[in-house]
Structure 1
Amino acid sequence: MGCCQCQGIENMFDKKAAKRQLKRYLKKGPSKTTGMLLDAIHKKGVQGLNFLDIGGGIGAIQYDLIKAGASNGTSIEASSAYIDVVKEETLQNGLAERVNFKQGDFTTTATDVDSADIVTLDKVICCYDDMSELVGLSSKLARKIYAVIYPRDVWWTKLALPMMNFYPRLKGSSFRVFIHPTKKVEKIIFGNGLKRNYYATTLFWQVAIFTR
């Protein structure tokens, strides 16, 4: 991820956005696609497994996996504001000792990150201009399950892309959304020894689970 994109993430995903998203999660639970991802992971079994949640956001996946029986996990998040908000929430719900938080760009710290039974990227691939590095490094770390949500590679999502990037430009942020070809994403994942065994879509998103 380029330095401009990192700075853009800091600007777009600030403390106000983090608190708003956490409030929504506490009231309504995970989003539809996150729920789909978690349901698919649950069917594989999570008891006693550990996880690595890249771009962990407000912690929806982390809370769910621990409650479902995962032993512990690591959250790597580029936004310092989101890390601060999630740390505060985990202290309140008693999960602080079960999740290790790291702030920064995963691709620059990947060599210092341990492999995990479950690796998740919920709407993270679309935040990276260098998809190959992100997917290549993260999928190598998945011992059992690699779970991702990213935009569908279809004409209507591509048509919507300029509109999605209009708001960051209007706000003066360097953050941009990217739509990467599904075949290229999956080629990298398959090349790291994983096979796809769950796939579902919504109008905009694709949800996929890969296992070894």
Structure 2
Amino acid sequence: MSGCCGPGPGNTDPTRYSAVFTPSFSRSITRRYERKGLRPVEQRIVDFLAGTGIEGASVLEIGGGVGEIQLELLKRGAGRTENLELSDAYESNAERLVERAGLGGRVSRRLGVDIAETPDAVGPADVVILHRVVCCYPDYVKLLGAAARHARRALVFSYPPRNLFHRAGFTAVNAFMRATGKTYRGYTHDPAAMVDVVRRHGLDPVYAHRGLAWHITGAVRAR
């Protein structure tokens, strides 16, 4: 998904993601990455995971967009990556980035797999990433629970701060989406509750970053 909006509870609109995460949105992300590399929040995710030891590791990214985090992890020693995406807008740009990096044999991309609804459709991975995704999903317990169960060694996720400024912003965006007939909704879930979900699945939160726009939680499998 690689954005921060999701369907309202019970929504079954098959176009809900592609209506917002469009080819122009994908091109913008791709051009920015090609010119400047990762954004600071994405670089922090890569650095955290690299610090846990990713040599030869398998990586599963849920809603990874064009896959720039995955490419950087492969360059840092990861073995292979798998991307799950619900919008088809990213595929052509993602393929181009993979080809330019010479990493085609180590990247797998799958469309239409919602890991929260069909967890058995996806195999486990050493590392699982959800960047700007939890705020797209109404049921964070279901989504993070499925992600945590798939993480053999580490899980990292980012989310917006749950303060008055962001909550007001999300309210305004959701009102606009309703007014324009889109079925997306954004969510500012309780950070402590999300961390509790991760803990309940045997992962120990060992890293936290509190940025103005995005917070990050990194957790490792308790041994």
Q: TM-score, normalised by structure 1?
A: 0.93
Shift, 1:187, TM fit: 1.3
CA separation of 1:159 and 1:3: change in aligned 2, threshold 3 A: closer
The separation in 2 between residues aligned to 1:197 and 1:115, in whole angstroms, is 21
The separation in 2 between residues aligned to 1:127 and 1:83, in whole angstroms, is 20
CA contact (8 A) 2:11 2:183 kept: no
Corresponding residue for 2:206?
197
Unpaired runs of 5+ residues, structure 1, are: none
Corresponding residue for 1:17?
25
Q: Match for 1:144 among 147, 153, 163? A: 153
Letter of the 2:218 counterpart: I
Corresponding residue for 2:120?
111
Corresponding residue for 1:135?
144
Unpaired runs of 5+ residues, structure 2, are: 1-6
CA contact (8 A) 1:52 1:118 kept: yes
SS at match of 1:83: helix
Greater shift in the superposed pair: 79-88 or 135-144:
79-88
CA contact (8 A) 2:115 2:121 kept: no
Residue-by-residue CA offset, 1:100-121 (whole Å, 9 max, x unaligned): 1101223233212111111000
Q: TM-score, normalised by structure 2?
A: 0.88
CA separation of 1:6 and 1:43: change in aligned 2, threshold 3 A: farther
Corresponding residue for 2:4?
none
1:92 aligns with 2:100: yes
RMSD over aligned CA atoms reads 1.7
The separation in 1 between residues aligned to 2:179 and 2:29, in whole angstroms, is 21
Corresponding residue for 1:211?
220
Greater shift in the superposed pair: 98-107 or 120-129:
98-107
Letter of the 1:35 counterpart: Q
Greater shift in the superposed pair: 169-178 or 66-75:
169-178
Structure-to-structure mapping, 1:1-212, within 5 angstroms: 2-4=10-12, 7-104=15-112, 105-169=114-178, 171-212=180-221
The separation in 1 between residues aligned to 2:72 and 2:16, in whole angstroms, is 28
More helix by percentage: 1
The separation in 1 between residues aligned to 2:52 and 2:176, in whole angstroms, is 38
Letter of the 2:20 counterpart: M
CA contact (8 A) 1:151 1:204 kept: yes
Percent identity of equivalent pairs: 28
The separation in 2 between residues aligned to 1:89 and 1:196, in whole angstroms, is 32
